[in-house]
Amino acid sequence: MTAPLQPKRGATLLNDPVLNKGTAFSAAERDAFGLRGLLPPRVMTQDEQLERILPGVRARPTPIDQYAYLVALHDRNVTLFYRLVMDNLEEFLPVLYTPTVGQACEEFGRIFRRSRGLYVTSEDRGRVRDVLANWPHDDVRMIVVTDGERILGLGDLGANGMGIPIGKLTLYTACAGVSPHQCLPITIDVGTDNTALRESAAYMGVRDPRMRGEEYDALLDEFVEAVKERFPLACLQFEDFGNHNAFTLLEKWRDRTCTFNDDIQGTASVTLGGLLSAAKLTGVPLRDMRLMFLGAGEAGIGIGDLVVQEMIAEGLTELEARQRCWFMDSRGLVVASRTDLAEHKRRFAHEYDAVASLQEAVEQLKPHALIGVSGQPGTFTPGVLTAMAANHPRPIIMALSNPTSKAECTAREAYSATDGRAVFASGSPFAPVTYKERTHVPGQGNNAYIFPGVGLGVIVSESSRVTDEMFAAAARTLAGLVTPEDLAMGRIYPSLTRIREVSRAIAIEVAKIAFDRGLARTARPDDLAAAVSAAMYEPVYQSLI
C-alpha cells in the first residue's frame, strides 16, 4: 500500500471545502490527519449530518436567508452541500436558481462572504491570460461567463451578475453531475450603466460606465482566446449578456470554439421541447402551429430560429415556417415596413399592416401559442388571455421571463382567464393552481432542463463545438420524457425531481451527435450510456485513507 496522496492536515484540511467532511471524518482519518480534538467527538454519517442541517435551512425565514445559509454550507463542505441540494432539488432549485438568485444578485454586496469564480475586468486588457492562470484547477470543462448587462429580466447588475454563473454551474453539478472542480464561473466586469448600483457603498465592481465598442470587442476576443489556451477542453457558455453582444459573440465564435449562448439556444431548446409536448395535449402538431412572441430579443429570436428548423424537419419550407412565427416588440408587431428593426429581427418581419397592441395582434393572427420573453410583467393581460382562449380550445401560454416578478402573467391568471383551458408554462416556478375544483400543475419552461445535459454530453465526448442539432435533439429528448400523467396534470415538462434522468438522456443524445459528426476529441466508448453515467459526480465522501 502506498501512502495516501493527501498532503493537507489539521485545520488546513478542515478549511478546504472540497476535502472537508466535518463530523464525518472517521476515527482513523482523525488520527491520520491530525484532526483529533478539532471536531466534536461523535463521528456522523452523511445522512446524520443532513438530518442535523436540514431543519436549520428550512427554519430560515426567507428564501434569500436560505440562499445565504446554503452558500455558507458550500463554502465549508462542498460534498454535503450537493448531497443536500440533490436530495431536495424541487425545494432548493428555486433558492439557488430563479427566482431567488435574482435577488441574490441584487443584494450581492450584502450576501458576499468568500469569493467564488474569476473576475476579468476592463483593466485586464493585455493580461487576461495571467488572470486565467491564477485559477487553481487545470481540468476546467464548463465555464459560464456573464458581463452582467442583462441579468435575468432585471437588467444591468454589473459585477453583481456573478450570482448567475455560480447558480448555473451549481445546476451543472446538481442536475447533470458535472464535477464541481471542473466548473468555473466568470464575470467580465466592464463597468455598469446602473448608476445607483455603481455609486452604492456595497458595490464591489468596477465603478465606471460600461466599456463598449471596439475596446469591449477586443477584451472579449482576448478572453475567448485565453480560455482556449488555458482550458482547451472547456465549453464556454455565455449567459445574460445584452442583446447586441449576445448575438454578435455567438455568431463570431460558434464555429470557431466550443461555445453556446444559453439565453438564445438553451431557452430555444426548452421552449421547443415544451411546444412538442403541448402538441400532444392540443392535437395540433408543431408544423401547424402559429406562434406569437412577445419580445424579440435573445430568447424570442433563438426560439424562432430553432422552431423554424424543426418545422422544416416536419415538412415545411423555410418560408412557410417563418410565416408561422410572429413577433411583437416594444414598438408593435414586427412587420416588413418597419425601418427600426435590429438585424436579428428582420428575418421574422412579414408583409403585414402595423399593429400596436398585443391583444389586437392576437385577435387578428389567432396564434396557437403565446410566448412571453419580454421581461415585462403583466403584459399577458386578461384581455390578451381571453382572446387566446376565444380562438383555440387549448391555448398554449408560456410566460418565460425571469424571475417570477417579471413573468408576463401568473399561472392563476392564465388558468382563470381561459376557464382552465390554458396549457401554461413559466420560466420561474409557480405552485399548482386549483381552479373550479381542478388542480393544474404548471410546467417550468426553464433552460435548466437543457444546459446541464448538453454540457455533460459535450464533456463526455470532448466535443469541439456545440451545434443547433444538439439543441434540437435535446428538445426532442426532453419532450419524449414527458409522461401521460404529466400531461394529464397540464404539465408539458417532466417533474423537476427527474432532472438528473433528463440531463443524462440529453447528454447521451448530444454525445452521439458529437461522435457522429466528427466533433468528438476522444474515442467513442463502446457503451455511451454507461460512459455518461460513469462521468456523473456523486456527492459521497471519499475515504482519505
Ligand X SMILES: O=C([O-])CC(=O)C(=O)O
Name the residues that contact ligand X, by CB under 6 A. Answer: 98, 152, 240, 262-263, 402, 427, 446-447
Name which of Mg ion, ligand X, none residue 261 binds, using a CB cut-off of 5 to 8 Å depending on partner kind: none
Which is it for the CA torsion 151, 153, 155, 160, positive or negative?
A: negative
Which of 156, 240, 298, 509 touches Mg ion by CB under 5 A?
240
Residue 147 interacts with Mg ion (CB under 5 A)? no
| Chain CA centroid to CA 147, Å | 15
46 makes contact, choosing from ligand X, Mg ion, none, with CB < 5 to 8 Å by partner type, with none
For the sheet with 396-399, list strands across it: 332-333, 325-329, 291-294, 369-372, 396-399, 423-426, 443-444
> Residue 259 binds which one of ligand X, Mg ion, none, with CB within 5 to 8 A depending on kind?
none
Compute the C-alpha angle 346/344/305, nearest 5°: 95
29 binds Mg ion (CB under 5 A): no
How many angstroms separate the Cα of 414 from the Cα of each of 119, 299, 417, 446? 41, 21, 6, 18
| Cβ distance to ligand X smaller for residue 66 or 359 | 66
The total of other beta-carbon atoms located within 10 Å of residue 117's CB is: 17
Least distance CB 372 / ligand X (angstroms): 12
Q: What separation, in Å, do the N-terminal and C-terminal C-alpha atoms of the chain show?
A: 10
Q: Quick check: is 97 catalytic?
A: yes
User: Of 263 and 509, which CB lies nearer to ligand X in the complex structure?
Assistant: 263
- Residues in contact with 510: Cβ distance below 8 Å, sequence separation at least 6, in sequence order: 453, 454, 456, 457, 458, 461, 463, 470, 473, 474
Q: Which three cell numbers stand for residue 158?
A: 454589473
402 binds, among Mg ion, ligand X, none (CB under 5 to 8 A by kind): ligand X
CA distance 250 to 243: 11
Instruction: Show Cβ contacts of residue 392 under 8 Å, excluding neighbours closer than 6 positions.
Output: 282, 284, 366, 368
Part in contact with Mg ion (CB under 5 A); list of ranges 82-90, 263-271, 409-417, 532-540: 263-271
Query: 526 among the known binding-site residues?
Result: no
What does 413 interact with, of Mg ion, ligand X, none (CB < 5 to 8 A by kind)?
none
Comparing CB distances to ligand X, the nearer of 205 and 375 is 375
- Quick one: 152 or 423, whose CB is closer to ligand X? 152
Number of residues in contact with Mg ion under rule CB under 5 A: 3
CA–CA separation, 454 and 503 (whole Å): 7
How near is the Cβ of 263 to ligand X at its closest, in Å?
A: 5
Does 263 interact with Mg ion (rule: CB under 5 A)?
yes
Least CB distance to ligand X at residue 296 (A): 16
- 156 sits near Mg ion (criterion: CB under 5 A): no
Q: Nearer Cβ to Mg ion, position 152 or 316?
A: 152
Tell me the closest approach of the beta carbon of residue 345 to ligand X, in angstroms.
Answer: 19
Q: Is 486 in the site for Mg ion (CB under 5 A)?
A: no
What, of ligand X, Mg ion, none, does residue 298 touch, CB below 5 to 8 Å by kind?
Answer: none
Q: Is 194 annotated as a binding residue?
A: no
413 is known to lie in a ligand binding site: no
Q: Is 172 a catalytic residue?
A: no
Is 9 annotated in some ligand binding site?
no
Residue 192, binding choice from ligand X, Mg ion, none, Cβ under 5 to 8 Å by partner class: none
The β-bridge partners of 332 are 329
Distance between CA atoms of 400 and 409, rounded to whole angstroms? 9
Q: Which of 491, 506, 378 is nearest to 440 (CA)?
A: 491
CB of 150 to Mg ion, least distance (A): 8
468 marked ligand binding residue: no
- Give the list of residues 6+ apart from residue 413 with CB closer than 8 angstroms, or none: 380, 382, 385
Considering 21, 67, 82, 97, which one is annotated as catalytic?
97
**21, 168, 345, 406: which one is catalytic?**
168
Rounding to the nearest 10 degrees, give the CA dihedral for residues 118, 120, 124, 129: 60
Query: Three cell numbers at 130?
Result: 495571467
Report if residue 149 touches Mg ion, rule: CB under 5 A: no
Any known ligand binding at 245?
no
Q: How far is CA 172 from each of CA 227, 315, 457, 502, rounded to the nearest angstrom? A: 19, 35, 12, 12
Name the residue nearer to Mg ion (CB basis): 406 or 440.
Answer: 406
- Report yes or no: 114 and 156 within 8 Å, Cβ to Cβ: no
- C-beta of 66 vs 404, nearer to ligand X: 404
DSSP state of 466: -
Site membership for Mg ion, residue 329 (CB under 5 A): no
Catalytic residues: 97, 168
List contacts with Mg ion (CB under 5 A): 239-240, 263
Q: Show binding-site residues for (S)-malate.
A: 150, 402, 446
